[in-house]
Amino acid sequence: MTDLSRASAADTARLIAEGDLTARVVLDETLDRVARQDPRLNAFSVVLGDQARAEATARDQQAAQKADQLGPLHGVPIAIKEELDVAGCVTTFGGEGNSTPVAHDGEVVRRLRAAGAVIVGKTTMPEFGAWPYTESVSRGITRNPWDTTRTPGGSSGGTAAAVASGMVPVAIGGDGGGSIRIPSAMCGLFGLKPQRGRVTAAPHPHLWLALGTVGPLARTVLDSALVYDVIRGSLPSDRFVAGESGSFVEAAGREPGRLRIGWSVKPVTLGIKPDPIHVRAVQETARLLTDLGHDVREVDPRYPDPTAAFVPQFFGGIRAEADGVEHYERLERRTRETYRLGSWVTPRVEEWAVRASDGVCAKANRVFQDVDVLLTPSIAHRPPRVGVLDGRGSLAASLLAMPAIAYAALWNVAGNPAASVPCGIAEDGLPVGIQLVGRTDDEATLLSLSAQIEKARPWPLLAGDTLA
């Protein structure tokens, strides 16, 4: 009997396609796990039980009629971060600002359903995804499955907790300053931020201007690639469009060849010191990659300062989303404070910041004149205890966010693909992740290299697992 809490999305779809399982059986077991585990984790803001059962039943009817025409995610339960539109649900952005359900799925959710996925529910996030810790007045505190006294990170913290606990095999998050990679690192998951413009923002023209993108958090590299091959691709309405790329699944399945890999533990953010656990993880990964035949050496990335380009786009993104809600007065006090602090960010300033991103990109990419991949920590600190944001205003919350985004946010400004890759469990019992950054439009190399690391150094699939 297959333990569906451990089954990957790829295996689940295969077992359903081969007739060994039905979508309804998979869905019922998923909902049982959610009912048992979510009360202690608070990963889900909405569980779509009845709708998901109807969708799973429809998937089984489709399989009976057109077994040779099933999508790559047929019957796979998937959860969606609160900031994305799911038909019939209120898009809350993690707060109480909206009260009317949306009539239509966003394009990413539409593509998932078209590929056969079953939408189980929506996952918690801090309001508007402003902070790398998943805590809010509206939804409460989301907890790390590895240690419920610790944060899962954010802003895709509910997504990470749902996957790391085995409630769902894969779930959708978003990344505007590290929000896929940070919770992946804290929860032991693989999380790839794709190239800017790789995934459509529809029905919006962009997500936080040049900073944001949507993508999955997964327990395996293949699952991430499988979902990306379903959701990637732009529409005419998208402001940003990525360059050409081949199949992500094919990239995850091939050897990367001998690569030049530069490693550094130097943070982008001045004044931040990485935890020794993360320094050791980078050094151990560098040794592993050397043993795998790569040309590995320490480098100085000569990071540019992304602050002037990042901050206006951060404020602009928050203000645009706040302006779009139905009930501004219901937003958290900290969110309204952030809104006021960003009042200087006019449309003209936003456009200046987007143009400044191009300059940051050019300087950040100098490192790739000498290496193919950059290896760094994913985050600087260990997962903090929950309650990080309790009683904190916007400025204090921003300071507390610095260790989480110290290695991540630059690559949102530059637009490069970057992935957090699990590398085991530290002596504190919590996962450790390292970051791999690739050249512009080169997700393929990151997927191939990450899959090679996964094979050479397997990571626990679920919170609480240990490997001999």
Instruction: Tell me which residues are annotated as active site.
Output: 81, 155, 179
Nearest Cα neighbor of 179 from 154, 209, 214 is 154
Q: 117 and 59 in contact (C-beta within 8 Å)?
A: no
Copy the structure tokens of residue 50: 């009845």
Which of 59, 235, 237, 43 is CA-nearest to residue 142? 43
In total, the chain counts a number of residues equal to: 468
Tokens of 75: 């019957």
Helices and strands counted in the chain (H then E)? 15, 13
Backbone angles phi and psi of 327, in degrees to 5? -130, 80
**How are strands ordered across the β-sheet holding 295-298?**
44-47, 118-123, 77-81, 170-175, 213-218, 190-193, 418-425, 431-438, 373-377, 260-263, 295-298
Phi/psi at 12 (nearest 5 deg)? -60, -50
Rounding to the nearest 10 degrees, give the CA dihedral for residues 147, 148, 151, 154: 100
From the list 261, 283, 271, 295, the residue with the least C-alpha distance to 372 is 261
Type of residue found at 427 = E
SS3 133: coil
Q: Report helix angle 23-41 to 49-65, nearest 10.
A: 160
